[in-house]
Amino acid sequence: MKQHKAIGLISIPVIVAALGYFVDIYDLLLFSIIRMKSLKSLGLTDALCDTEGKFIISIQMYGLLLGGILWGIMGDKKGRLSVLFGSILLYSLANIANGFVQTVNQYALARFIAGIGLAGELGAGITLVSELVPKENRGKATSIVAGVGLTGAVAAYFVAHSFEWMAQGGNTWAADIVATGYDWRICYFIGGGLGLLLLLMRISVFESGMYKSIEHSKVQKGNFLMFFNNKRRFRKYLLAILVGLPTWYVIGVLITFSKEFAEHFGIKDPVDPGRAIMLAYVAISIGDLLIGFVSNWLGSRKKALFIFYSLTVLSIGLFFFQQGGSATGMYAICMFMGFATGFWALFVTMAAEHFGTNLRATAATTVPNMVRGSLPIIILLFNGLQPTFSYINAGAITGIIVMSISITAVFMTEETFGKDLNFMEE
């Protein structure tokens, strides 16, 4: 295949991919941050906020799972840019619609459609950046994309609480909005607006040269079934998914439901899951920014992963030893768990590096969304263990199972550091 001119670490495609992931994470985590506030405004009790919250987040993840396949195929068939434009348009409009929901079912439908749109952002961005940046800087570039992008959760937290803070400061306009319960809806409008603004910025982004060289060739592009018709390729694909499971176990179970865990731990001070998510994502963004440089320094993706996995196991252990602790301690541990699971960019980069140009976008887009889509299964396991074990023990056993699977997957996966991406899948 023809060689193509590479770009620098700080360039338009890297910046736009990072900003796109920023908006993606803002919209993706917004529901978890305003779950209690939004569901209570719809008339739900605390108990229903827990059960219906799990239902809505599971529906959103199913949307991500479906969208990952759809956008991944489109990224290889129609180009990386088609996904960057199409996905952000869909989830921006879905988030605006989310601001108008009146029932749980409407809420779930809006999050499902938003999930489909959100599924394309990271995979297409990582694929494009991986193909444009020199291989010696690939890990650094994708870490920048993730490190900047993950701060979108921090922005979502501050936007979600801004009206309350202004109301407390004496702003009557903000106080009226909070009193009517309309503030959480504005958060969705802001997310949709940010997406539409970013859509205009994407006009300046150019297509990957690697993709353009095969655009009109007869080679199969974006054939999702190719992951399953070859034993070696299927093994790589499955392992790529299993490597990422701890991230959504930590975020989707331990941190999202930190309020409920705190109550079972006997923590007397109230724990705000939105704040826990915000603090975790501050740390995740630092971890994701750092891990690419650690990987380059070690000359290995797998060694960097094992370091962060060790920290993940340690942080999860600390989480389950909080009986009689404090809200401050809970927030600190959530930050530690966030930093430890800051390997999202690295494992998505590995997914892109495993496969040829004609299947790369499909891999890089479906793999992270398969991981996100595994959350309903993890929650099902967590809920299924509770009748036999306590709430706390069910969460711990779920974590042991998830970490055991992922550690085994890293041992079995291939090293991809410094791999030349200029190849195709036959």
Tell me whether residue 421 is in a domain: no
Total tally of structural domains belonging to the chain:
1
Instruction: DSSP for 263-324, please give it.
Output: HHHT--S---HHHHHHHHHHHHHHHHHHHHHHHHHHT-HHHHHHHHHHHHHHHHHHHT--TT
pLDDT surpasses 90 at 8: no
For 281-299, how does the pLDDT look when each residue is reduced to its tens digit (9 = 90+)?
899 999 998 999 899 999 9
Tell me whether residue 239 is in a domain: yes
For 221-251, how does the pLDDT look when each residue is reduced to its tens digit (9 = 90+)?
889 999 999 999 999 999 999 999 999 999 9
What pTM was estimated for this model as a whole?
Answer: 0.84
Tell me whether residue 115 is in a domain: yes
Confidence of residue 216 (pLDDT cuts 50, 70, 90): low
What domain range is 124 assigned to?
Answer: 12-201+226-412
Tell me whether residue 190 is in a domain: yes
Q: Are 322 and 329 in contact (CB under 8 A)?
A: yes
Residue 63 has what pLDDT? 92
Angle separating helix axes 344-354 and 121-132, nearest 10 degrees: 60
Tell me whether residue 27 is in a domain: yes
Tell me whether residue 119 is in a domain: yes
Tell me whether residue 191 is in a domain: yes
Tell me whether residue 216 is in a domain: no
For 174-194, how does the pLDDT look when each residue is reduced to its tens digit (9 = 90+)?
888 888 888 899 999 999 999
CATH of the domain at 334: 1.20.1250.20
Residue 390, sorted as left (phi over 0), alpha (psi -120 to 50) or beta, turns out to be beta
Pick the range with the lowest mean pLDDT from 135-139, 347-351, 366-370. Answer: 135-139
